[in-house]
Structure 1
Amino acid sequence: MSFLVAIAALVFLMVAAYRGHSVILFAPIAAMGAVLLTDPSAVAPIFTGLFMERMAGFVKLYFPVFLLGAIFGKLIEVSGFARAIVASSVAILGRDRAMLAIVFVAAILTYGGVSLFVVVFAVYPFAAELFRRSNIPKRLIPATIALGAFTFTMDSLPGTPQIQNIIPTTFFKTTTWAAPILGTIGAIFILVLGLVFLNWRRRAALASGEGYGENHLNEPVVDEASSGVHPGIAILPLIIVGLANKALTLAIPAIYGQKFDVVLTPGGKAVTADVGSLTAVWAVQGALVLGIVAVLIFAWRAVSVNFAAGSKDAVAGALLAAVNTASEYGFGAVIAALPGFLIIADALKAIPNPLVNEAITVTTLAGITGSASGGMSIALGAMADQFIAAANAAGIPLEVLHRVAAMASGGMDTLPHNGAVITLLAVTGLTHRQSYKDIFAITCIKTVAVFVVIAVYYLTGWV
């Protein structure tokens, strides 16, 4: 019975998300419903002492990253930098390589720290124009954008400032540059196989006489006039974020050590920071601040006109994304405390290989919650100590655990109820029926990539 209660709570949350209901509302309902069925007297203590504590802890740790990332992405958008990068990438690669051009520019924006949701809005108008001119079916646009933004630059490439690559650092005391060789191999695998699949789908459509199509919804109007922004200037803030992230990752431990105590007033209480577990978070925050400053310096006139409205949108988006994920984190903490979860955990422990165990656990929970960051937070919050103990016993570096967890979170997360998928389809004016099967193929490719990386590690020992 306890097992069914835990599964029912997970299914309930998944169905609620699939139907478009707010996770912020339904995560506590699902969690407390499960507690109610287990021990009615424990509802209030568990809600306050576990759910809200974990939820608040997540916001405390990660909200600055969400906020700075959202503001940086919005500034890249309103400054015209995103459009300049897209236009120059298309000019370099050529309109006859429409799919490659869209994947390339989505990857640049995502790896540069721009929010996945901002990337969708920034890239779609140019994708629609390129696909129309090349007579490629519009239904392939979502999968093409997903390959560039939702896969290898989100969690595979070392140093990416996306939240999926930051969360493991606080559990394994690693940095965002963990396992660079394995991450790069995984990224190449996803990119190559993804492009092969998309081009195969394009050729099949061409052979059957299918073109871009007509009477589509949300068709954008692209202004052909130059935005006046030099692409070299436009990409500079993204380069600054990447370089600063790496530099701060090295500098922070050297400056502060592994722990740092500070007393602001004589005889006052010391504030202690566990620098070892916070280095990656601080490094990304600092890098994003420098990126924001760079945009303001180079495009103050364009940004200042829309800064008030744009910053409000960014703050609202950051709050929504952070609290959504935090609610799932609190939900996961409650589920992990239920007797039924012990059955699930014991079943997963039956998988003897620690890396395969971690990969299956993380990607399964990411699929159930429809969120890479949410699923990984649940899995690592409940089982990180178990993963670390198993890895230490097998002599596996924690950097490998980090990379496997990050890539696995971006595996089955993009099921139909995933928020990014729903947004992507809404922006492009397409439906699940029209485009989801191609998105799911990309989902399968990136899930397989996790196990390819695991195999490469065992065959070569590369990290």
Structure 2
Amino acid sequence: MFIEIVAIVLSLGLLMFFAYRGYPVIVFAPIFTLLAVLISGIALMPSYTEVYMVNAANYVKNFFPIFLLGAVFGKVMELNGAASSIAQSLVKALGSKRAMLSVVLACGILTYGGVSLFVVAFAVYPFAVSIFREANIPKRLIPGTIALGAFTFTMDALPGTPQIQNIIPTTYFGTDSYAAPILGIIGGLIVFGLGLFWLERRRKQAEAAGEGYGSGHKNEPEGLDNQKYPNLWVSIIPLVLVLLFNYLLSRGFLTVNNWYSADLLKTFNIANVKTVSSSWALIVALCIGILSAICINARVVQSKLATGLTAAAMGALLAIFNTASEVGFGNVVKTLPGFKAIQGWILGLSSHPLISEAISVNILAGVTGSASGGLSIALEVMGKQYLAAANNAGISPELLHRIASMASGGMDTLPHNGAVITLLAITGLTHRQSYKDIFAITVIKTVTVLVLAIILSIF
């Protein structure tokens, strides 16, 4: 059994190492999958074609529309200037005295409205530079500030967020994106408050040491004074429409649960409409958001739409195939002899499903460097066990959903995380300069989820 466990740990370690070094997960996930299979003495080719590829393809089938439409929505909001308008308006309204708060809120509003994390970073960064320079706050604190606003409470904690990390659990638990709203709001507020406290503390330390914005930085944006953006209230319309229709189609009078009869759904092999209704609701909501966003600055969008859609599609393809590769990896691993011992160890860390789930999702998100990847692997492998244990203990599947979703955004932002690497590249900073604050936000999020899980297990 020892060698079988080593096979899994070694393959996971190599996948994390190569991802950290910038090698494509799409290429190396199947390589290290087959390495684990080979060491474990399992049939090589059937494991690849009938387990790895089948599960990777199923993930693409289930979630590609959301990846694609989310990327397109974000790109159109970038092209029409609406994303920049929202960021600029908040920065100007709150002023330099609330520089960090304004950046966090700008990122949060865009993320909660359905704009992809990468677009948010691109859109907000120029305004963050402007206000941080005006307030004489060190530039090295910008990545941590953007990470708090875009990678935490609005990504997976607040109910109804259209980010993929909040949609994935619906497939496994039969919930919707508004699952456990009170828990999500409480968790989101805690992360927001503690994260802002940390960042302000770091700002005051820098101020006391006489450190200002600094000079000689890379990737400094050009001046923004002469650029014109759409009116703020017009700019937020697409975001509001996405949130509104996502709610109406999930829980309101337009709910997609009532669109088709049970007999009709059975002909499409859909036994329970709740396993797909959240995805359907978000697909329709994002389509409405895209159409409304195109209407803002229609001429400007039209002139750049072809190249913008191409960029969005390429980004969506890369993102989903990276995640699908990790999902395929996880599904092969769970068939290996050594996995039962590892699974028993993870489940043995706590007998309570919420605590065990929070730990396992955090671990796998950290190993893969991906919130959606780690979440998908954890729920593919142990989702049924958690659901069965929760049902036996009288725990609502909605609580499983919210804890899993929030845990995925915990340790995922380790140094090899793609969003972290991209954020640092956008800001022209290095891990050495700025990762300490991103890691602090990561720890705050992880501890918050574990504490909430423990409290729920007691009461």
Other-structure match for 1:319: 317
1:261 aligns with 2:261: no
Show CA shifts across 1:136-189 (max 9, x none). 011100000000000000000000000000000000000000000000000000
Query: For the residues of structure 1 that align with 2:131 and 2:29, how far apart are their CA atoms?
Result: 40
- In structure 1, the residue matched to 2:31 is 29
- 1:188 is aligned to 189
Report if aligned partners of 2:95, 2:131 keep a CA contact under 8 Å in 1: no
Alpha carbons of structure 1 residues 27 and 260: separation in structure 2 relative to 1, 3 Å: farther
| Residues 269-318 of structure 1: per-residue CA shift (max 9 Å, x gap) | x4343422001111111110000011122331121010000000000000
**Aligned counterpart, 2:380:** 381
* Secondary structure in 1 matching 2:412: coil
Q: Which residue is equivalent to 1:112?
A: 113
- Structure 1 equivalent of residue 276 of structure 2: 278
Give the Cα separation in 1 of the matches to 2:30 and 2:48. Answer: 8
CA shift digits 1:10-47 (9 cap, x unpaired): 0000000000000000100010111111126x111110
Match of 1:364 in 2: 363
Between the aligned partners of 2:268 and 2:297, the Cα distance in structure 1 is 38
Contact 2:368 2:374 in 1 (8 A): yes
Match of 1:432 in 2: 431
Q: Trace 1:59-458 onto structure 2 (pairs within 5 A).
A: 59-250=60-251, 251-256=255-260, 259=262, 261=264, 270-273=267-270, 274-350=272-348, 351-458=350-457
Instruction: Find out whether 1:19 has 2:16 as its counterpart.
Output: no
CA distance, structure 1, for counterparts of residue 93 and residue 245 of structure 2: 27
Amino acid at match of 2:191: I
Q: Which amino acid aligns with 2:19?
A: A
CA distance in 2, matches of 1:93, 1:104: 10
CA shift, 1:458, in A, is 4.5
Task: Report the Cα offset of residue 450 of structure 1.
Answer: 0.5
TM-score relative to the length of structure 1: 0.96
Q: Indicate if the aligned counterparts of 2:250 and 2:256 stay in contact, CA closer than 8 A.
A: yes
User: How many positions carry a matched residue from both structures?
Assistant: 452
**2:264 partner SS:** strand
> Take 1:458 and 1:299, find their aligned partners in 2: how far apart are those partners?
51
Find the residue that maps to 1:271 and give its secondary structure.
Answer: coil
| Counterpart Cα distance in 2 of 1:260 and 1:65 | 26
The offset of 1:456, in angstroms, is 4.5
In structure 1, the residue corresponding to 2:195 is in which secondary structure? Answer: helix
Residue-by-residue CA offset, 1:222-245 (whole Å, 9 max, x unaligned): 321252411000001000000000
Paired with 1:419 and 1:298, the residues of 2 have a C-alpha distance of 31
CA contact (8 A) 1:126 1:222 kept: no
Q: Deviations over 1:94-147 (max 9, x none)?
A: 222110000000000000000001111111111111111111011100000000
- Contact residue 260 and residue 275 of structure 1 kept, 8 A: no
Three-state SS of the structure 1 residue aligned to 2:219 is coil
CA shift for structure 1 position 451: 2.0
For residue 22 of structure 1, what is the amino acid of its counterpart? P
In the alignment, residue 358 of structure 1 is paired with which amino acid?
E
User: Which residue identity is paired with 1:218?
Assistant: N
1:323 counterpart letter in structure 2: F
Matched residue type, 1:254: N
Contact 1:261 1:272 in 2 (8 A): no
Give, in angstroms, the shift of residue 4 of structure 1: 0.7
Aligned to 2:45: 44
What letter is aligned with 2:63? Y
SS of 2:411 mapped into structure 1: coil
After superposition, give the CA deviation of every residue in 1:360-381 in whole Å (9 maximum; x if it has no partner). Answer: 0000000000000000111100
Any gaps of 5 or more consecutive residues in structure 2? none
Take 1:4 and 1:272, find their aligned partners in 2: how far apart are those partners? 39
By how many angstroms is 1:383 displaced?
0.5
Q: Judge conservation of contact 1:260–1:272 (CA < 8 Å) in 2.
A: no
User: Does the 8 A contact of 2:327 with 2:376 survive in 1?
Assistant: yes
Of all paired residues, the percent bearing the same amino acid is: 54
**Deviation (angstroms), 1:329:** 0.3
RMSD of aligned Cα (Å): 1.3
